[in-house]
Structure formats: C-alpha cells, structure tokens
Amino acid sequence: MYLLDTNIFIELLLEQEKAEDVRKFLINHDPCELYITEFSFYSIGIILLKLKQKELT
C-alpha cells in the first residue's frame, strides 16, 4: 500500500524533473495499492483549475 502525496501528481502534471520516474512508478504498481487523501485530491483539482486544464490527456 502506498499513500501518494500531492507533489507526486504535480511532478507528473507539470512535467517536472522527476516526471518520468513518477510515470514509471504509477505504471509498475497495482492501482489497488495506490491511495490518495481527499485533501490531495482537491489540491490537485485547484492546481489544474489554476492552469486552466479541465482534462488530462
């Protein structure tokens, strides 16, 4: 079980330095073992709104 921090997703969404590492981590782990807090979920939503991104591709 992994509890993922907001910064993990921000790294990927903003294509920062470790984005590829995050991508590999997410691909190589069972989604049923990955968790996120409600606070992190809403924080990511706020950041996406600020970036004017409504959908991720």
Nearest residue to 25 (alpha-carbon basis) of 45, 46, 42, 5: 5
Given a cut of 80, whether residue 57 has pLDDT beyond it is no
Looking at residue 10, what is its pLDDT? Answer: 92
Looking at residue 48, what is its pLDDT? Answer: 83
Looking at residue 52, what is its pLDDT? Answer: 76
Q: What is the pLDDT of residues 1-21, one digit of tens each?
A: 999 999 999 999 889 999 999
SS (H, E, C) the chain: CEEECHHHHHHHHCCCCCHHHHHHHHHHCCHHHEEECHHHHHHHHHHHHHCCCCCCC
Looking at residue 31, what is its pLDDT? Answer: 95
Domain ranges of the chain: 2-50
Q: What is the pLDDT of residues 19-35, one digit of tens each?
A: 999 999 999 999 999 99
